[in-house]
A and B are shown apart, each in its own frame.
Chain A
């Protein structure tokens, strides 16, 4: 399994450093670039492009396609290595997690919805992109608390993010503008219980 992640993240000291950084940040968060091993990342991205999707569209909530999760990605998410990484970083046992794979293209979004569960939540997401993506096109994940500036995670292919939300903190995916053309961005979004 280890060869499915960037060699850098195989070193216990690097994982320990990431876990420390996670615990010290407020809110607790981790953003790792080039997370998967390059060939494995490309393989998953190729597989994702081929899977079927169902459009999810609620005018006041969201618009994107939900995709079937390729076996290779599902296996990785259930792997000892990934669960171990989560447990090491969170400092607790991971009993259950839910996740879904979403495709965002021009006109897609997900909005803050104030009827969602509030309080402490543990979220994670992976980003898969084929080719180019610019931040100004949208499609990035953000977390917002009150009227302040939202915490924005760049839409960067092969990145992994883990965050513990605090209090009334809501997440959204920024509307994808027409500048994206036919380009799309894929997100594996999960929540840990």
Chain B
């Protein structure tokens, strides 16, 4: 529990609270999801943002997306980013995710990278489904993002397993942690960043 207390806001570490949150996760629509505000201890969120901004982002383009990404943070030279990687790969964090989502994930089996959406960047509808990905997680580290700025995470409803229409939108607010279960119907997108603000996040998948 020690490593969790170092990073995660105390209010999310109560077992009873986590049990309630698991209900919310399971009842999440259009597929299992939940977001938690003020997720990390404020000081940790701040140093993580600074460290991430100091890392190298490589711009990527395809038919589906336009954004920048770091390499997997397992190999980061930054002590802070490495310690965050160790935290996310810990047995304690895997146990936390199991309590939050009910999904069993293996400690140390993960992908973790930083992402940066500048003005005009976007990610169109896809499902994230790749063999062995169980849970996707994202921690938003952008400052002052509002709905009109774009960049929201969009959960997409499905009809007979095909994406049908846009559902709930999650604004990438500061220190907001979002988790969803990866499945054949976990269709989602990231709205185009319409602002001049940088949409910064760190996340990946747990296996």
Contact = CB atoms under 8 A, between A and B. Distances in A.
A174 interface: yes
Contacts of B62: 144, 150
B120 A59 contact: no
Given A59-B164, A60-B126, A175 B187 contact: no
A111 B192 contact: no
A144 B126 CA distance: 18
B168 interface: no
A165 B3 CA distance: 54
Contacts of B126: 60
Interface in B139-183: 150, 156, 162-166
A113 to B, nearest CB: 9
A172 interface: yes
A175 B163 contact: no
Contact of B124 (A136, A175, A177): A175
Interface in A96-126: 107, 109-112
A175 B165 contact: no
B4 interface: no
Contact of A175 (B122, B156, B162, B194): B122
A178 B166 contact: no
Given A109-B63, A109-B124, A111-B124, A178 B187 contact: no
Contacts of A111: 63-64, 124
Interface residues of B, number: 21
Contacts of A175: 63, 66, 122, 124, 192
Nearest to A113: B63
A142 interface: yes
Nearest to B194: A178
Contacts, number: 49
A76 interface: no
Given A111-B124, A179-B120, A60 B194 contact: no
A18 B125 CA distance: 39
B163 A178 contact: no
Contacts of B187: 59-60
Contacts of A174: 63
A: interface residue count bin? 10 to 19
Contacts of A110: 63
A59 B125 contact: yes
A66 B103 CA distance: 44
Interface string B62-83: 1110100000000000000000
A38 to B, nearest CB: 32
Contacts of B165: 59
Interface in A135-165: 136, 142, 144, 150
Given A59-B163, A175-B192, A178-B120, 15 more contacts: A59-B125, A59-B156, A59-B164, A59-B187, A60-B162, A60-B187, A109-B124, A150-B62, A175-B63, A175-B66, A178-B150, A178-B192, A178-B194, A179-B119, A179-B120
29 contacts: A59-B125, A59-B156, A59-B164, A59-B165, A59-B187, A60-B124, A60-B125, A60-B126, A60-B162, A60-B163, A60-B187, A107-B192, A109-B63, A109-B124, A112-B64, A136-B120, A142-B63, A144-B62, A144-B63, A150-B63, A174-B63, A175-B63, A175-B66, A175-B124, A178-B120, A178-B150, A178-B192, A179-B119, A179-B120
